[in-house]
Amino acid sequence: MAKQVTDMTQGNPVSLIIKFAIPMMIGNIFQQFYNIVDSIIVGKLVGTEALAAIGVTGSVTFLFFALCNGIGSGGGIITSQFFGSGDDRQVKKCIANVAYIMVIFPIAVGIIAYIFSEPLLRFLDTPPEVMKDAVTYMHVMCVGLAFVSIYNYVASMLRALGDSRTPLYFLVFSCILNTGLDFVFVYFCKWGVFGAAIATLISQFVSGVVCLLYAFKFNSYFKLKKDDLRPNGGIIWNAVKIGVPLSLQFSLIAISCMALQRVVNHFGPVAIAAFTATSRIEQVIHQPYQTLGTALSTYTGQNFGAKKYERIRLGYRKSMIMMAIFTAAMVPVMQIFGKPITSIFVDDPAVIDMGAVALRITSIFYVFLGVIYVVRGVLNGVGDAFFALLNGIIEVIGRLVVPIALTMVAFIGLWGIWWSVGIVWFLSGFTAWLRYVWYNKKHLTEKKVQID
């Protein structure tokens, strides 16, 4: 069992966070590689309109997946806190009871998503020339929502126990499978967007099932007894109490992305393709920040359960420094190499030129994006449900107001799309930092414990 879990309540915080984060970052990059492979193959082999069709579904897909992922994240936080407190019995009960939630919830969300996906795409003013493929892609992903959630559940539980390596192994396998299926379904079978969706669905489903079987066999916390399998109202309620605000946070962010997508759609297929390409690139940029935040959430959850509050504060400070170093390295890359990076996805010169300028705009604001993830990691780890909701509301207001206002300014025009992305990062990051300052002063500062 020692090799399958990591106790983050002892030892050097920086070393623990980095060792935990590196496998997870590689895994997240592979997960984003699914989307990148889809985009490259579809963009190169099918065309700009097919790439745009996948692009316009991004915010809608994120909305429905966010509802499920938030619940799973809430269960992971509860599990990490019990693990940090040394209560192995409760850890096993959490693993079982979160599974019940993650079976029922995705099925219900998937049915709703299938019914409302086309009306939502129409509400977003999806161009007629890409509507058919967009609906097809959405319907396939909605049908598979419950299957894809299997991996997210297992990964959430394993990471709560400090195991970030096991999910990585199966994501690598899934990525290889996804790439092969993409070529088979899109290039050889000529299934277009439908083939790309099926390839992603199959690969993630296989990854989840195999990862679950591995956990049952090799991780002692997954070796559940009859008593562990009994529904526990307290655990389910606590997981839901934290998970629902997280779901709302992710969902509100998804709704805000949909609002932004609606603005983008008004500018036609070229702008949509450029926005899709830059979004895919920025999803990769998000990964180190997101990985750091997720690692910090597990670290914080375990130390919060162990009542080692000073270690939480130290982890936050060190994570801010690591975030700043990565940001300083990435901004020049996007400023200088935006055009060749965008050209990975498409051959259309107009899309490439637009994407290069867009990356120069958004990269200015990367530091605020990093602040969002670091603060979110700490506050999610301690179970601050109010912050999750507040953060989502800020992003919704920002993406509802800022892009519309900026694109209406004559000398800004469509570039307001990408300026609004950066401004929303600033607003959300600054608000998150204020919340951390308040929470730290109110709940952590007066409860210092000696660092190991």
Rounded to two decimals, the pTM is 0.78
Determine the Cα–Cα distance for residues 304 and 146; give it in Å rounded to an integer: 31
Determine the Cα–Cα distance for residues 409 and 404; give it in Å rounded to an integer: 9
pLDDT greater at residue 292 or residue 245: 292
* Per-residue pLDDT at 97 exceeds 70: yes
Quick one: tokens of 171? Answer: 């994501």
Phi and psi torsions of 44, nearest 5°: -80, -40
* Per-residue pLDDT at 450 exceeds 50: no
The number of beta carbons lying within 10 Å of the beta carbon of residue 22 is: 15
pLDDT greater at residue 94 or residue 391: 94
pLDDT greater at residue 317 or residue 256: 317
* Per-residue pLDDT at 452 exceeds 50: no
Q: Residues 320-339: what's their mean pLDDT?
A: 94
Sign of the Cα pseudo-torsion (59, 60, 65, 66, in order): positive
* Per-residue pLDDT at 294 exceeds 60: yes
Are 274 and 338 spatial neighbours (Cβ–Cβ below 8 Å)? no
Per-residue pLDDT tens for 180-230?
888 888 888 888 888 888 988 898 889 889 999 999 998 989 999 989 999
- Between 35-44, 79-88, 120-129, the lowest mean confidence (pLDDT) is in 35-44
Q: Residues 139-151: what's their mean pLDDT?
A: 85
Phi-psi bin for 5: left (phi > 0), alpha (psi -120 to 50), beta? beta
Confidence of residue 262 (pLDDT cuts 50, 70, 90): confident
The number of beta carbons lying within 10 Å of the beta carbon of residue 258 is: 21
Q: Give the per-residue pLDDT at 230.
A: 92
Q: Give the per-residue pLDDT at 395.
A: 79
Q: Give the per-residue pLDDT at 190.
A: 84
Sign of the Cα pseudo-torsion (264, 265, 268, 270, in order): positive
Determine the Cα–Cα distance for residues 406 and 353; give it in Å rounded to an integer: 20
Q: Give the per-residue pLDDT at 261.
A: 81
- Judged on CB neighbours under 10 Å (0-12, 13-18, 19+), 66 is buried
* Per-residue pLDDT at 299 exceeds 90: yes
What does the mean pLDDT of the chain come to?
86
* Per-residue pLDDT at 94 exceeds 90: yes
Closest CA to 376 of 9, 155, 70, 58: 70
Q: Give the per-residue pLDDT at 383.
A: 84
DSSP summary character for residue 318:
H
Q: Give the per-residue pLDDT at 33.
A: 66
Q: Residues 43-51: what's their mean pLDDT?
A: 76
Determine the Cα–Cα distance for residues 381 and 159; give it in Å rounded to an integer: 12
Confidence of residue 4 (pLDDT cuts 50, 70, 90): low
Confidence of residue 1 (pLDDT cuts 50, 70, 90): very low
Closest CA to 45 of 230, 170, 184: 184
Q: Give the per-residue pLDDT at 109.
A: 87
Report percent pLDDT > 70 for the chain.
95
Residue type, 184: V
Q: Give the per-residue pLDDT at 210.
A: 92
Sign of the Cα pseudo-torsion (12, 13, 15, 19, in order): positive
Q: Give the per-residue pLDDT at 35.
A: 64
Confidence of residue 2 (pLDDT cuts 50, 70, 90): very low
The radius of gyration of the chain's CA atoms, rounded to the nearest angstrom, is 21
Per-residue pLDDT tens for 330-362?
999 999 998 998 888 778 888 899 999 999 999
* Per-residue pLDDT at 320 exceeds 90: yes
